[in-house]
Structure 1
């Protein structure tokens, strides 16, 4: 059911985001406690502000009311993905070359299931991540299909 809600929401969102030159980062439909939440994460080059999120939320809310793809009550939230933006697609990885990222894998590579480091390359669906072990730099090559989750990693 939730995958259908996500698909329907994405198709309703597409023209709204296209018109505003915004990018869809992610859509989540989750139950927390007794409540359902439809969360939409949007962005654009240079970042997005709260006013734009509010405008997209209003437009999407109208379209959701018309189409009524979700049975029952839910809360709609439209926001920026934040600084630790998730990386979901090959395009996300290509745009993130030379950035610090964190990845979780479905199965270990070189004995580890998590890596944090600089994404030095993304070619032929292989992410090359340079990371440090103590003072030594190493590079791991990870097939895109083995990545369970990934995000930009902020270092302090």
Structure 2
């Protein structure tokens, strides 16, 4: 499966999964469909306002599995895993950054800013397509969403 096929496949899976999750008040945080050794895995990461329970994961898994079996859009036998995104959840959408204001984040950028590509700081705001953070060494700065390759919450102890 090449990169274009994978992207199309991921989008088709999301188009099926999102309405199922929404009907239970659950949000799709992330989706991974990849091969590990000889097996394919479909990992679905979910969340909701008050956090997800084991029952939420079981209910989502049951309904997703039933619909995907009927739609039959996945060309391989796969193992479905549904879970919460964890404490170090990825931030992908504007709403993710807004919800997590004040929290510590690690941002990897596509291109360098001030000669670096990894930033750790507190989320201050998001506006005009920029994430504003208080970076540990550089102070207040803005990072364009379009330059963010990956962003995750940092676990604080």
State the TM-score, normalizing by the size of structure 2. Answer: 0.92
Q: What is aligned with 1:106? A: 110
Structure 2, unpaired ranges of 5+:
none
Give the conservation status (yes or no) of the 8 Å contact 2:41–2:78. yes
Could you list the runs of 4 or more consecutive aligned residues of structure 1 that deviate by over 4 angstroms after TM superposition? Answer: none
1:3 to 4, 7, 27: 7
Q: What is the correspondence of 1:121-140 to structure 2 with a 5 Å cutoff?
A: 121-133=125-137, 138-140=139-141
Question: Counterparts of 1:61 and 1:132 in 2: how far apart (Å)?
Answer: 43
After alignment, is 30-39 or 6-15 more displaced? 6-15
Per-residue deviation, 1:8: 2.0
Pairing partner for 1:27 from 31, 51, 55: 31
SS of equivalent to 2:95: helix
> Size of the alignment, in residue pairs?
153
Please identify, of 12-21 and 54-63, the stretch whose mean Cα deviation from structure 2 is larger. 12-21
Aligned mate of 1:80, from 70, 84, 108: 84
TM-score normalised by the chain length of structure 1:
0.92
Unaligned 5+ runs, structure 1: none
